[in-house]
Amino acid sequence: MKKAKIYKPSKTAMQSGLKKFDKWVLEFISNDPTINPLMGWESSNDTYSEVKMEFTNKNLAIEYAKKNKIEYELIEPQERKVTKKSYSDNFIK
């Protein structure tokens, strides 16, 4: 049957805000990636590998996968670790 991964995308290094990163993504995993003989690019005959679905929360994505009998792997996001920095710390230590 189809396999998918459910994850919350992380922001790229070029972005400082977190506006577009509140959605959860269900993305199908391709089983047979092949190399295109003409261009040398990776391709697949599986059209599910092109599908990415966005959900507002994790529970909706899991519910959708269960309802449609999709095997899924849940990847929890890592929490941001914020350390407070102060200019005066350069001179105290």
**Residue-range domain boundaries for the chain:** 3-9+22-92
Interatomic CA distance for residues 35 and 40, integer angstroms:
6
Backbone angles phi, psi at 56, to 5 degrees: -75, -25
Mean pLDDT in order along the chain per 10 residues (93 residues): 87 72 88 78 78 93 94 89 84 78
What pLDDT is recorded for position 1? 63
Beta carbons of 23 and 56 less than 8 angstroms apart: yes
Q: What is the CATH number of domain 3-9+22-92?
A: 3.30.160
Query: How do residues 5-30 score in pLDDT, each as one tens digit?
Result: 999 988 777 767 766 678 999 999 87
